[in-house]
Structure formats: C-alpha cells, structure tokens
Structure 1
Amino acid sequence: MISCGSQSREKDKRQITKDRSAYSKDIKVHAIKKDKAIIVGANQTENYLPLLKGKRVGIVANQTSVIFRKDGRENTEDKRFTHLVDSLLSLKVDIRKVFAPEHGFRGNADAGEHVEDGIDTKTKLPLVSLHGKYRKPIPKQLENLDIVLFDIQDVGVRFYTYISTLHNVMEACAEARIPVLILDRPNPNGYYIDGPTLKIENKSFLGMHPIPLVHGMTIGEYAHMINGEQWLANEQKCTITVIKVENYTHNTFYSLPIRPSPNLPNDQSIKLYPSLGLFEGTNVNAGRGTEFQFQRYGAPFLDKTVLSFSYTPIANFGAKYPKHKNVVCYGEDLKSENINGVMTLKWIIKAYQNSTDKSLFFNTNNFTKHAGTKTLQQQIESGLSEKEIKATWKDGLEGFKKTRLKYLLYD
C-alpha cells in the first residue's frame, strides 16, 4: 500500500519530470528574435581562440554558454546553437574542467539548491560546483589551469547570483595568478538603473558590493568595476580580457534565447524580476511552482476580497518546494503588465497592506539580503509611499551612475 505522503511525492516527481521535459524543449527551440545583429562574445571565436591555444582551460559555464548559428534559422533540436564547451572541445581546446554556478552546469537545479561536484555525462569533463561546499574555487581546484574562461548570461539584478560567482572566480584567479577571459553577453535589463543601494554591512552571496538593485551593466563591464573599485580581497586585481558584444548598446532590446535559470522563462519574467524578486525575502510566493514564475504573486494570508486572483503552487521543475505548496494563494496576475525601465515597489507595498496577518509577511534576514538594506522593510512597515521611499534612493543612485561611467564598454 502507498501512503498518502508517498502518493503526493510520486505525483510531484511526475510533475517535475514533465516540467523538466518542457524546459529541455524550451532550451532547444525557443526563438532567437529581434536581435540577429547582436554578436555575443562566444560567437567571436577568431578573437579568443588564439588566447586559448596551448593553454589548460577551466570554464565557468551553464546552459546559456552557447555559440549561435550565424543565420539563426534552423528550427530542429540544437541546430540553433551549440554549447560553448562542446564547440571548444571539437576545436581541440584543452578543457580540463567546468565550474558550475547556481542552478548547475545544465541549469536544472532549484534556486539556492546545493549543487554537487560530478562528471558531465556528455563530455565526461569534471564538474566543480560553485554553489555547493564551495562558492569560491579553492587553490586545488585551480591547479594545472593556465586560464579560466567565464561565459554566463546575466539579467542585471544584484541578487541574481552570477555576479557574485564572477567576483569569487576573479578573486580566486587573482590569488592564483591565473588570467580570466570573459565572453560578454547583453544585459536584458541593461537600459536602466534603479533600486536601493546595498549597505556593505548587509553583504552576502545575494549582494556583495555597494550597488543598486538594478545595476545596468554587462558581465564584462561589471568585471572591470570589480577590479577598478578594488572589491577583491586585499585590493587585488585580476587579469581580465573581455570579448565585447558587437552591435550592442545599453538601449538595444535583447530577448534571451535561452532562459538563464529555471524560473525566468521569458521576457516578461525578466522585466518583472527586479520588482517581484523582493518577494523572495518574504513569505509571499512569486509564481514559483507555476508556469508563470515572476509574473504573479500570492499567499494564503493576503486579503482575497482585495486581491482576488488565485492559484495553487505545486512542485515542478525548478521549484520542488515552492512557498505554500498545494495551498491556494491570493494575489495578482501580472503576466500582461506593461513595465519597462523601472523597478516598482507598488506590488510589495500593496501585498503588505493587504496582509490579514502582517507578522507573517517578512522573512527579515532574507529580505534584508535581497534589499541590501534594513531600511526598506522599515519604510514599508511604516506606511511610506513608493514615491517617498524612492526619494531616499536618489543619492545612492546618482553616486553609482558616476562610478559606472568609468567602466562602460557600450554606449
């Protein structure tokens, strides 16, 4: 006899398997659109293969680390692109190991999930997790490497952890005197800067530097800032080379052809992520456990007479244990919300104000890590309006914009 708990677990496994299959399909055939003029760093093999020739190479990569077909027209299987690692191996580059960030090398681990070291089943290369026992490569893991290549698609939000991984890799390589080669990619939220600036006493893996929540920089630009602002331990500098994106400016629209993590499935989720990502520091569900991640929010303790939209999170690919799993949540559906060039607090303020039990709302320590400051929670709890709160960000934003100018690679 199967217990109710076992039945529930079996159902969850079936759902996760189904969602994983859908995600795999999404990676293979999701359209490359509106951005054919963009040539990402990885596609410019003529510019970086000479830097890898005769070198023992480590690669920091995930499912977004791909080389696109030049015509972008092929519709079947993986014909639109090949993985960078596969391409470099075919070109006889001596890859010794792959370092995997949050969500893993193939991008299928939950947010925050511990990722184990292992062997990649396709290439048989050793996989070194940078989101498991270690988040910074240790000296032993860098032994016998001459260069480390970093190629990961970012979305330009401080608590999206790939820039923290970038910092840790640069710091470890600086200590080991190993150069880092960065293949740059566009930032889909790179056309604006917004949000509270992190206070350094709140430094964590969700934010390591005193920058606004939306920073408006590519990975390559951010690497230059890390060096230039002396953010590495002991004010070290990492030797970096950035292969720039061709035909890109910060005002160029870029639709990500591959989702950068399991719970950012489309352009709308990426636009809303800076605003709805703050719910990660609360007990409100931000769409995890549905097919509309970061396009809705809800909780069972929100007033359903005001927030009448309802949904029930279930275990799925990328969210084995979503908040309020199998419980009806009340909130708002934002999948059609038109938002560009702004991070807004209106939804988190509205949710807090319509909580039937406000003591349930904030996970204070986690919210502070996401916000980068203790002040934001206090401001929301005290009833300040969005306009009043945003006015307190002005000095931090203006200071950062001036600093940022020194490191921009694109107009």
Structure 2
Amino acid sequence: MNLDFKIKNLLLICLIFLGGINQYYSQTQDQPDFKTGADQPELYLPLLKNKTVGVVTNQTGLMKDRIHLVDFLVKNNINVKAIFAPEHGFRGEADAGAKVKNGVDVKTGIPIISLYASNKKPKPEQLKGIDIVVFDIQDVGVRFYTYISTLTYLMEAGAENNVEVMVLDRPNPHDGYTDGPVLKKKWTSFVGMHEVPVVYGLTIGEYGKMVNGEKWLKDGVQAKYTLIPMKNYHKKQRYQISDRPSPNLPNDKAINLYPSLCFFEGTQVSVGRGTDLPFQMYGSPWTEGLPYQFTPKPNFGAKDPFLNGKLCYGENLSNYPKDLRELNLEWVIKAYQSYKNPQQDFFLKNLWFDTLSGTDELRKQIMAGRSIPEIRASWKEGLNNFEKIRTRYIVYED
C-alpha cells in the first residue's frame, strides 16, 4: 500500500468522522440509479420555462453535484422571483422556533421571504406575479417536524391565488412504517396540522398528494399540484441525505432517534440541545439515578439551550445499536419514573407534550403507569384507519 493511498484513506476517514461530506443517512447502499426529484431536471425544467417561479427551499435543496437548486435554476435561465425560507431559514442556521428574517440572497440577489413566525402562509402580495412555486426541502417524515406544515400552507395559498405548486420529492428517513398516536383535532397546531400519526410513512411529495386529495386545506380548496417523483426509490431502504435537515439533527442517529426523543421537548428533560449530540441523549438535573452526565451550553444549534449550564443526568444514545423502525417509549417512561422533583412537574405546564403527541392520552397513560404494550395497543385503531387513507397516495414501492 503506497503512502499516497494511505493518506487518501486517512483523509476520507477524517471527513466522514467530522461530517465533512454532509451525507448523513446511509444505513444501506443507494442504488446507483436512484435519483431525487431535483436530480431529474429533464422532468421539471420544461414545466418552468417562460414562467415566473418562486422556490421554497433551504440548505438541503442540493443536487447530486452539491449545486443548490436555486443556483441551478438561475444558471438555466429560469426566472426565479422569490425564495421562501421555512423554519431555520434559507441556509438552515436558525434555532428551532427562532424568528427567520426576510432578506436578499447574496449569491443571486433574489429576495428571501420568511415562511415562519407570523408569516407561515405566503400572502397574496408575496405571490403576486408568480406562476408556480417549487418546493424542495429534505423532510424527516415525522408529524411534528414543521416542513409538512409549511407545504400545507403553501398549497393553501397556491389554491387561493391560482399559483401552481410543484414538489421535487426526496427520501423519507422514516418511511416504510407508521407509528404513534393519531392527532386529534383539538390538538391541531403548526407541529401537527392533520389527523395523522407521529410517523406517517409517506414522502413529502406523497404527503402533499394526501393533503390535496383528502381536501384537508382550508375550506376544502385544492391546489394545482405537480409531483416530480424520485427514480428507483423504495420505502424500506434508507438513502443518503444531502445535508442536515436542521441544526439539531446533525447525523443519521439523531434523525433515527428524533420521533422517540422529541417528546422530551414537552418535559423538564433536555434532549441534548447545546451539546455535540443533540437528539442523541436525554437528561435533567432531577433524574440523578441515570448514568450519563452532560451540561447544555450555547452552541451553533442552540444559542440559549434548555437547562443551559445545568448538570444533567440521563442516557447517551449516540451508540444505540438499532435502526429504529418504531417509536421507543422506554426512554420517556424511564425519565418520568426517575424524576425526583414532584412528578407532576415533569411535564411542562403549557402541555406542549400533548401538542407534540397530538392528544393528551399519552401523557395520562404515562402518569397512570400503563405499560408500553398497553400504550401501543391504544394506537392500533387509529393507525389502521389512517392506513386506509395512506395507501391511496403511495407512489413508491411500499
């Protein structure tokens, strides 16, 4: 083995370790002929020619050669009038829930319009003169991850203002299964707009088809909806992702644990925001019986993390060996049972836990000491009913 070859291998290992290649989810090898919607310009460029275009995207809107979709469209003389930025912003650097400001993209000079905070739905004046809006964002396939809500509001605005919506589809890292409680209408919010389970087993393109087909948009309106599907995508296979979908989902493990750990956001327990392992650990100052210790501190993904500066006791799950294909309730139940402050204080008083769950039943079941099999059994009817809806909108091999 020559020295150059050894150096190249060492550099490759360092890049992978540091996340330099920005390809986080590769549990199985991609098929060589797999393509995202964005990587099939022959399907969408003819539909955009001679039209005024808006684009809803962020840092994940990358093509296989790492060029951003917006740059590619401009290079191909597509008239892009506006970039609409969702939660975390166009470059994906804003904290969860942080205000995303309007501005101008330095590279292209195209105006950036925030679709977060008080302007989650494009206003008529923001869509004026636009013929079609292209949506290209990497989603993670979980109900409380807000990009499906952004798509819903976009479709609603499109239907109301006679603007077509085109979705360039991308893989769902939690595809091929459904799990969790189905949202009840009372708990509708931006982190849960529809009566679907926590994990719904559809790509974002399929999800948009379902929202349109089921007439879930306001007043039952339907958008003119065009889906650019992926090529050779299979729901139970796992594919590489172009970039971290948000600041606190930095790698495949965080994405895989996210549906199970996000419930902690409605409790007095940290999910590792403000550490090097967000959504790969949990803990609090009041669960001292748990083995792992960490202290949240301000960092790139969390300028003022929950429990900032406080020593927390919990579990480090970054080496958890399983590729989860169901919700794991073990951790939230263990934390609740280990909580030494008054247990009634474990859940935040604003009932954010119920908002994330889409129901108050899960919180009540945990407080009542119900077993995991009992809790899971209570989801069965809702999941079966949702499956009848879901199957009508499946585009890819299930």
Pick from 273, 277, 290: which aligns with 1:307? 290
Structure 2 residue 346 is matched with structure 1 residue 361:
yes
Pick from 345, 357, 370: which aligns with 1:384? 370
Structure 2 residue 52 is matched with structure 1 residue 56:
yes
8 Å contact 1:312–1:328 — kept in the other structure? Answer: yes
TM-score, normalised on structure 1?
Answer: 0.89
Q: What is the alpha-carbon distance in structure 1 between the residues aligned to residue 347 and residue 106 of structure 2?
A: 41
Give per-residue Cα distances to partners, 1:329-377, cap 9 Å, x unaligned: 0000111112421111110000000000113311142111100001111
Q: Secondary structure at the match of 2:335?
A: helix
Pick from 215, 232, 236: which aligns with 2:217? 232
Structure 2 residue 272 is matched with structure 1 residue 287:
yes
Give per-residue Cα distances to partners, 1:205-252, cap 9 Å, x unaligned: 000000000011001100110011110011111011101000101112
The aligned runs of 1:138-157 (5 Å cut-off) are 138-157=123-142
Question: 2:372 is matched by which residue type in structure 1?
Answer: E
Q: Shift of the alpha carbon at 1:318?
A: 1.3
Residue 256 of structure 2 corresponds to 271
Pick from 211, 220, 228: which aligns with 2:205? 220
Q: Secondary structure at the match of 1:98?
A: strand
CA RMSD of aligned residues (A): 1.5
Give per-residue Cα distances to partners, 1:377-399, cap 9 Å, x unaligned: 11111111111111100000011
Pick from 330, 333, 338: which aligns with 1:349? 333
Structure 2 residue 174 is matched with structure 1 residue 189:
yes
Question: 1:38 is matched by which residue type in structure 2?
Answer: F
Q: What is the alpha-carbon distance in structure 1 between the residues aligned to residue 114 and residue 394 of structure 2?
A: 30
Residue 372 of structure 1 corresponds to 358
Percent identical pairs in the alignment equals 49
Unmatched segments (≥5 aa) in structure 1: 1-21, 70-80
Q: Secondary structure at the match of 1:103?
A: coil
Q: What is the alpha-carbon distance in structure 1 between the residues aligned to residue 260 and residue 240 of structure 2?
A: 19
8 Å contact 2:24–2:250 — kept in the other structure? Answer: no
8 Å contact 2:24–2:244 — kept in the other structure? Answer: no
The aligned runs of 1:56-205 (5 Å cut-off) are 56-69=52-65, 81-205=66-190
Residue 45 of structure 1 corresponds to 41
8 Å contact 1:174–1:237 — kept in the other structure? Answer: yes
Q: What is the alpha-carbon distance in structure 2 between the residues aligned to residue 85 and residue 353 of structure 1?
A: 49
Unmatched segments (≥5 aa) in structure 2: 1-14
Q: Secondary structure at the match of 1:57?
A: strand
Question: 2:156 is matched by which residue type in structure 1?
Answer: E
8 Å contact 2:24–2:251 — kept in the other structure? Answer: no
Question: 1:202 is matched by which residue type in structure 2?
Answer: W
Residue 7 of structure 2 corresponds to none
8 Å contact 2:165–2:223 — kept in the other structure? Answer: yes
Q: What is the alpha-carbon distance in structure 2 between the residues aligned to residue 349 and residue 48 of structure 1?
A: 47
Q: What is the alpha-carbon distance in structure 2 between the residues aligned to residue 104 and residue 31 of structure 1?
A: 20
Structure 2 residue 392 is matched with structure 1 residue 396:
no
Question: 2:101 is matched by which residue type in structure 1?
Answer: E
Structure 2 residue 330 is matched with structure 1 residue 334:
no
CA change 1:31–1:188 in 2 (3 A) is: closer
CA change 1:241–1:397 in 2 (3 A) is: same
Q: What is the alpha-carbon distance in structure 2 between the residues aligned to residue 217 and residue 280 of structure 1?
A: 24
CA change 1:31–1:324 in 2 (3 A) is: closer
The aligned runs of 1:25-36 (5 Å cut-off) are 26=19, 29-30=22-23, 34-35=29-30, 36=32
Pick from 202, 215, 235: which aligns with 1:250? 235
- Decide which moves more: 200-209 or 306-315: 306-315
Q: Secondary structure at the match of 1:392?
A: helix
CA change 1:203–1:31 in 2 (3 A) is: closer
Give per-residue Cα distances to partners, 1:79-126, cap 9 Å, x unaligned: xx1000001101110000000000000000001111111111222111
Question: 1:405 is matched by which residue type in structure 2?
Answer: T
Question: 1:403 is matched by which residue type in structure 2?
Answer: I
- Decide which moves more: 167-176 or 317-326: 317-326
8 Å contact 1:26–1:258 — kept in the other structure? Answer: no
Q: Shift of the alpha carbon at 1:27?
A: 6.6
Q: What is the alpha-carbon distance in structure 2 between the residues aligned to residue 41 and residue 290 of structure 1?
A: 34
TM-score, normalised on structure 2?
Answer: 0.92
Q: What is the alpha-carbon distance in structure 1 between the residues aligned to residue 106 and residue 239 of structure 2?
A: 32
Q: What is the alpha-carbon distance in structure 2 between the residues aligned to residue 153 and residue 254 of structure 1?
A: 12
Pick from 293, 299, 311: which aligns with 1:316? 299
Question: 2:270 is matched by which residue type in structure 1?
Answer: N
